[in-house]
């Protein structure tokens, strides 16, 4: 696996955050040698900021791992039958991972993820020997975020390419890179990879105990007093302390440790109760129908900032794209299970329906990533990766061996979505709630894989394929197997 000898920091120079507080505060450079870049605290900030920017790559969370590839695998979208319109997407919806196109796409996602992992390792290799150059809490925050980024990227590669953990935790999975040494590492069992992910996240959590998000909130209004230093503001646009707790909840749930998953989910839920991540105000969703807060921004624990977020809507969801492909949910699933059907918990008064869906010509289209009226608002750049609602669902799933024991968590979430309470909780009802809450955010495939259940792509159970390794385990890229 090749890695850059020089940081091409000129790519960070684009003023993509103009009008959005310039939260990354990036300065232009031209092929800065790594030693020079890490000679000052600002250099470490630049390197860390560059990793966050690169997470927006189309092969990662700018497309493939948020709204496109991974959501198709999660059954989120109905595929048309016209091959000239839908092309290779139909193969992916049928889990044909070994076509030339999809082998190339998965390879690109893998390579980009590991490129950023090695960038994290470059930063981590240099920061301890230069601890003395830092003032305040910058050392702890920069190192903590880099460890968390490394863990998050490995975890998503594990969830895609690793085994169904609940069935075979000791099966071969992926390599875990903790050094910046340029050599190929051996593929490790899933259980060993999970242990290393947890090790990184637990260390990151300790380091980020000084994170101002714990006492001052997310700082989404930016620095006061004319300060140009944004590094400790907009904390939900970085892997902050509570985002690390949320990742710990995800990983522990993945490994089957419900007790630890519940503990960390509850810590984030408590932060919500304390006003750090408050539930969205109803008036911001239903009171401004022309400009609703579609992503429920106050509840977002970690998001990327992409000044070109509108291109996500334009590329995949805009109904004006017709007769080209447009991603939308299967109509039967939408009408009978998710937002329709009393027995499934559906409701057309659900904030998630009112904010994110529009019906045109009898079809419903997804508007979560369309522009706000105030396009200069930093919230208009946010691509959510972790949100408060998921923590309620993880807590519900982790509360007891009997899933019905998590009913109170689901009902509290539903009460903050403007819908009636459920009288009982089953796995199907919990999955419907996950779809309502996380649709278009890249988590549904992982839910089905973790639970080892059918992917709900259609309201007709017979049209949803049986759970199995052929669906849930993506073959390792050829570039890795050759290594």
More confident residue, 482 or 236: 236
The answer to whether 207 touches 140, Cβ cutoff 8 Å, is yes
**Is it the case that residue 11 has pLDDT exceeding 50?**
no
Query: What pLDDT shows up at residue 33?
Result: 61
Do 97 and 475 form a contact (C-beta atoms < 8 A)?
yes
* Whether pLDDT at 24 is above 60: no
pLDDT: which is higher, 52 or 24? 52
- The band of 227, judged by pLDDT with boundaries at 50, 70 and 90, is very low
Q: Which residues pair with 382 in a beta bridge?
A: 305
List the domains of the chain with CATH numbers.
6-482 (1.25.40.390)
Lowest mean pLDDT among 118-122, 150-154, 216-220: 216-220
- pLDDT tens digits along 291-332: 789 999 999 999 999 989 999 999 999 999 999 999 999 999
> What pLDDT score does 9 carry?
32
Q: Whole-angstrom distance between the N-terminal and C-terminal Cα of the chain?
A: 8
Nearest Cα residue to 327 out of 67, 58, 60, 53: 67
User: Each residue of 116-145: pLDDT tens digit?
Assistant: 999 999 999 999 989 999 999 999 999 999
Average pLDDT of span 279-298 = 85
Q: In angstroms, rounded to a whole number, what is the distance separating the alpha carbons of residues 266 and 299?
A: 15
Model pLDDT, residue 10: 30
What mean pLDDT do residues 225-252 have? Answer: 86
Q: Nearest-5° angle of CA 62, CA 331, CA 346?
A: 90
How sure is the predictor about 229, in pLDDT bands with cuts at 50, 70 and 90?
low
Residue 400: pLDDT above 90?
A: no
More confident residue, 185 or 301: 301
Is the pLDDT assigned to residue 223 strictly greater than 70? no
Instruction: Give the model's pLDDT for residue 19.
Output: 35
pLDDT tens digits, 440-464:
999 999 999 999 999 999 988 888 9
Residues with Cβ within 8 Å of 100's Cβ and at least 6 positions away in sequence, in order, are: none
pLDDT above 70: residue 288? no
Q: Of 29-33, 245-249, 340-344, 397-401, which range is least confident?
A: 29-33
The residue-averaged pLDDT of 182-204 equals: 95
Mean pLDDT of the chain: 89
Q: 7: closest CA among 42, 45, 46?
A: 46
CB 191 within 8 A of CB 205: no
């Amino acid at each position: 696996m090749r890695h850059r000898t020089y940081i091409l920091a000129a790519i960070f120079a684009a003023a993509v955050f103009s009008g959005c507080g310039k939260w990354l505060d990036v300065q232009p450079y031209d092929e800065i040698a790594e030693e020079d870049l890490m000679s000052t605290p600002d250099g470490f900030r630049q390197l860390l900021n560059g990793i966050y920017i690169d997470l927006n790559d189309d092969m990662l969370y700018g497309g493939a791992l948020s709204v496109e590839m991974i959501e198709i695998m999660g059954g989120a979208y109905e595929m048309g039958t016209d091959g000239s319109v839908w092309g290779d997407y139909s193969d992916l919806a049928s889990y044909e991972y070994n076509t030339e196109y999809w082998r190339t796409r998965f390879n690109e996602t893998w390579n980009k993820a590991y490129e950023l992992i090695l960038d994290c390792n470059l930063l981590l290799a240099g920061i301890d020997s230069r601890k003395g150059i830092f003032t305040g809490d910058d050392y702890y925050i920069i190192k903590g975020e880099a460890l968390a980024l490394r863990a998050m990227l490995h975890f998503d590669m594990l969830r895609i390419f690793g085994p169904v953990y609940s069935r075979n935790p000791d099966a071969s999975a992926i390599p875990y890179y903790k050094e910046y040494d340029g050599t190929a590492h051996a593929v490790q069992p899933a259980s060993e990879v999970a242990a290393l992910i947890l090790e990184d996240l637990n260390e990151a959590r300790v380091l980020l105990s000084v994170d101002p998000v714990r006492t001052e909130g997310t700082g989404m209004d930016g620095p006061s007093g004319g300060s140009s230093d944004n590094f400790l503001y907009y904390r939900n646009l970085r892997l902050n302390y509570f985002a690390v707790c949320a990742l710990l909840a995800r990983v522990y749930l993945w490994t089957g440790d419900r007790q630890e998953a519940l503990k960390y989910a509850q810590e984030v839920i408590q932060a919500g109760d304390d006003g750090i991540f408050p539930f969205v105000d109803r008036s911001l969703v239903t009171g401004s129908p022309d400009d609703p807060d579609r992503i429920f921004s106050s509840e977002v624990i970690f998001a990327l900032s992409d000044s070109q977020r509108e291109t996500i809507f334009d590329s995949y969801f805009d109904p004006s794209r017709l007769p080209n492909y447009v991603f939308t949910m299967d109509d039967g699933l939408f009408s009978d299970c998710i937002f329709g059907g009393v027995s499934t918990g559906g409701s057309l008064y659900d904030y998630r329906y009112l904010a994110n869906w529009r019906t045109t010509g009898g079809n419903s289209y997804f508007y979560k990533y369309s522009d706000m009226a105030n396009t200069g608002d930093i919230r208009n750049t946010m691509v959510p990766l972790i949100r408060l609602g998921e923590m309620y669902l993880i807590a519900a799933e982790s509360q007891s061996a009997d899933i019905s024991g998590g009913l109170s968590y689901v009902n509290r979430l539903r009460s903050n979505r403007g819908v009636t309470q459920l009288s009982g909780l089953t796995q199907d009802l919990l999955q419907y709630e996950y779809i309502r809450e996380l649709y278009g955010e890249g988590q549904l495939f992982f839910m089905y894989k973790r639970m080892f259940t059918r992917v709900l792509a259609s309201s007709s159970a017979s049209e949803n394929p049986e759970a199995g390794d052929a669906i849930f385990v993506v073959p390792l890229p050829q570039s890795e197997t050759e290594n």
